[in-house]
Amino acid sequence: MITRDKVIRIQEKLKQAIKQIETEENVQFEFGSISFTAQRYQNSFVVKTLEKNDKIDGIMERTCKSIGFTQNVIGMEFTYRGSKYEITDIKTKNRKYPVIAIDLNSKTTYKFGVESVKKLLGGDNIINRNKNLDKLVG
């Protein structure tokens, strides 16, 4: 029989087993929704590449431009209500809150609108300046 405690134990074992795959393949697993009954356990996850190359950067830049940014903003950090956030993803299907950011203290993800993130990052001029400085420095 599958119980909540059993699901938690299985989930932890899966995470431990997946760590080896993440290091060997240079990817990151993100677990999604979980559902279970007494006889069945279902889990979803997303696999993201950690490689940085021109093709991936180009895709992310086009995605960011399609929702209203002038540059790729993935990885940029901003402060909101006293907490520091890092932009981790863009969900283009979510029209109202497409920017996904993680609170660096609690590791919780939150959704933000494009205009509010632009203001928090300092506007398009500051975003462009910071991205150009990143390209020059590193």
- The pTM for the full model equals 0.61
Question: Same domain for 118 and 131?
Answer: yes
Nearest partner of 77 among 120, 110, 30, judged by Cα: 120
pLDDT at 84: 93
Question: Same domain for 15 and 76?
Answer: no
Question: Same domain for 27 and 86?
Answer: no
Question: Same domain for 129 and 78?
Answer: yes
pLDDT at 98: 92
pLDDT at 136: 63
Question: Same domain for 84 and 129?
Answer: yes
Question: Same domain for 40 and 82?
Answer: no
Where a domain ends, among 49, 64, 80? 49
Question: Same domain for 72 and 45?
Answer: no
* Residues counted in the chain: 138
| Cα 64 to Cα 91: distance, rounded to the nearest angstrom | 10
Where a domain ends, among 14, 32, 49? 49
Domain that holds residue 9: 4-49
pLDDT at 96: 92
Question: Same domain for 38 and 65?
Answer: no
SS3 state at 106: coil
pLDDT at 130: 65
Question: Same domain for 27 and 84?
Answer: no
Question: Same domain for 118 and 71?
Answer: yes
Question: Same domain for 66 and 103?
Answer: yes
Question: Same domain for 35 and 63?
Answer: no
- On the 0-12 / 13-18 / 19+ scale of CB atoms within 10 A, 133 is exposed
pLDDT at 101: 93
What is the number of domains present in the chain? 2
Write out the chain's pLDDT in tens, 138 residues.
989 999 999 989 988 989 888 888 888 888 888 889 989 989 888 888 777 766 666 777 888 888 888 788 888 889 999 999 999 888 888 889 999 999 998 888 999 998 998 888 887 777 766 666 666 665
